[in-house]
Amino acid sequence: MNDLNHQFGEIDIYLFDQLLRRRITAGMRILDAGCGFGRNLVYFLREGFEVFGADSDPRAVEATRHLATTIAPTLPGDNFRVESVEAMSFPDAFADLVLSSAVLHFAGSDDHFRAMLHGTWRVLKPGGLLFCRLASSIGMENQVLPIAGRRFRLPDGSDRYLVDETLLLELTKQLGGQLGDPLKTTVVQNQRCMTTWIVRKPAATAFT
């Protein structure tokens, strides 16, 4: 177990699934949009991927830089930036794989959600893969309490922007993307739901 933790860190199990299915391969450039403390980056740093990240929390970015220095000391510190995902300074079509794990559900409104999603999608290369995990109401529709718009209070006491199947399918179409997998939702009994949304970006894209 310690060897696995050393190699993979606390990687999201559904991201690990993408590795097992060989959708993430050597030579890909990876950008974690909302990287937090870098828990999903350990394997990629260890295996020599080009790794980048952004987060609005300076402490999280500093921790991720320290993690990168420990595992991959030649990686430039500027690869990890204190920036919101809607205003990242990385160029358009920058990364082969963009990670968005437990980020988009912190949106405060529809406009904020779309700005965050647009910023995340913008940096993805044509043909690239967006890996997104976010809170949803799927499977817990009658247990979440509306606050305003798509903001809800979950049974675990947290307030989140919640998506559902209809919205995610509409957004996939608006992005011009294609689902890489069917939507998969984990229901944590009487607490929360987390949905995995994987979208492939084709050559021609749009966002409305």
Give residue 207's pLDDT. Answer: 54
Q: At which residue do the structure tokens 């310690």 appear?
A: 2
Residue of 117, 115, 134, 122 lying closest to 171 (CA atoms): 117
Residue 163 to residue 119: CA distance in whole angstroms: 18
157 located within any domain: yes
Structure tokens of 3? 């060897």
Are 81 and 60 in contact, with CB atoms under 8 Å apart? no
* 67 lies in some domain: yes
Cα 135 from Cα 7, distance rounded (Å): 27
Q: Which of the 8 DSSP states describes residue 7?
A: H
> How far apart (Å, rounded) are the C-alpha atoms in residues 171 and 180?
14
Q: Please give the tally of structural domains in the chain.
A: 1
- Per the domain annotation, does 171 fall within a domain? yes
Q: What range does the domain containing 43 cover?
A: 2-200
- Structural domain contains residue 54: yes
> Could you tell me if residue 40 is inside a domain?
yes
> Residue 208 falls within a domain, yes or no?
no
> In CATH, what number is assigned to the domain containing residue 34?
3.40.50.150
Task: Give a yes or no: residue 97 inside a domain.
Answer: yes
**Do 24 and 18 form a contact (C-beta atoms < 8 A)?**
yes
Q: What is the tens place of the pLDDT at every residue in 33-88?
A: 999 999 999 999 999 999 999 999 999 999 999 999 999 999 998 999 999 999 99
In this predicted structure, what is the pLDDT of residue 204?
60
The DSSP element (H or E) to which 167 belongs, if any, is: helix 165-175
Residue 206 lies in a domain: no
pLDDT given at position 208 = 47
Q: What is the pLDDT of residue 6?
A: 76
What was the pLDDT predicted at 9? Answer: 77
Which residues in the chain land under pLDDT 70?
1-2, 204-208
Q: How far apart are CA 186 and CA 196, in angstroms?
A: 8
